[in-house]
């Protein structure tokens, strides 16, 4: 019996020949490859964008929480300042009452209660001879030697809180931009995904073109955004 092809092999070769002779088969393969490549690239970028959005969102919450903590510390330092200032004023009033009464023992007792920092300002104020000098400051707290306790620290903490809050706002805005890009990339996945269900090559070409244009725009915007924090 001579060698020959079986009926199934003949049918297979006829089918392959028909595909090769079909002028649209090559175009369909190119469309399918383009869709697959586009879907792969967009899926990777969408995953990266979602990861970056989550990292920047976390960073924003951390910065805002830090700002809140610093503001509480600043308020506490400011409260401490007023408490010490009230103590200085109370001590000085006790001394002044003793001075008016010419009670030197009470004056020495009041001076003994002075804080060391306040004593420096008090001595400088006494050196101006306030009893006879009308231009003398009204009290030790008005002297340049009087250092406002805790006030510098309160101002520094407040400035740090403002800076941390601004950074938190900036990080939050960056997270929002990544979220918007993730939505755009998800839209590309949807467009390219449904293109496979259309039998018309024109429609598929159109959806691929729209997806590619959105992808280029997304890549340009991603390149302009800062990398997620480590």
pLDDT digits (tens, 9 = 90+) for 149-201: 677 888 888 999 999 999 999 999 999 999 999 999 998 888 887 777 667 67
155: domain range? 29-223
Q: Answer yes or no: is 21 within a domain.
A: no
The number of domains in the chain is 1
Q: Please, what's the b/e burial string for 180-198 (b: 16 or more CB within 10 A of its CB; e: otherwise)?
A: ebbebbebbeebbeebeee
- Interval 39-48 mean pLDDT: 90
pTM above 0.75, yes or no: no
Q: Answer yes or no: is 8 within a domain.
A: no
Helix locations, 113-200, DSSP H:
116-126, 151-195
Q: Answer yes or no: is 89 within a domain.
A: yes
Q: Answer yes or no: is 83 within a domain.
A: yes
Q: Answer yes or no: is 19 within a domain.
A: no
113 closest CA partner among 137, 127, 94, 98: 94
Q: Answer yes or no: is 88 within a domain.
A: yes
Task: Identify the pLDDT of residue 25.
Answer: 61
Q: Answer yes or no: is 24 within a domain.
A: no
Q: Answer yes or no: is 145 within a domain.
A: yes
């Amino acid at each position: 019996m001579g060698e020959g092809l079986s009926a199934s092999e003949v049918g297979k070769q006829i089918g392959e020949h028909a595909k090769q002779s079909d002028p649209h088969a090559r175009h369909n393969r190119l469309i399918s490859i383009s869709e697959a490549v586009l879907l792969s690239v967009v899926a990777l970028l969408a995953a990266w964008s979602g990861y970056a959005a989550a990292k920047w969102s976390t960073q924003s919450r951390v910065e805002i929480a830090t700002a809140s903590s610093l503001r509480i510390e600043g308020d506490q330092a400011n409260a401490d300042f007023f408490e010490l200032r009230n103590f200085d004023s109370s001590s000085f009033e006790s001394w002044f009452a003793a001075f008016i009464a010419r009670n030197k023992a009470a004056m020495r007792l009041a001076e003994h209660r002075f804080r060391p920092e306040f004593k420096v300002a008090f001595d400088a104020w006494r050196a101006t001879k306030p009893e006879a000098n009308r231009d003398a400051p009204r009290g030790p707290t008005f002297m340049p030697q009087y250092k406002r306790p805790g006030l510098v620290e309160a101002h520094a903490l407040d400035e740090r809180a403002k800076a941390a809050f601004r950074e938190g706002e900036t990080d939050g805005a960056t997270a929002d931009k990544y979220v918007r890009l993730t939505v755009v990339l998800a839209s590309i996945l949807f467009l390219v995904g449904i293109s496979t269900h259309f039998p018309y090559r024109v429609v598929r070409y159109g959806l691929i073109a729209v997806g590619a244009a959105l992808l280029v725009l997304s890549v340009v915007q991603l390149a302009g955004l800062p990398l997620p924090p480590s």
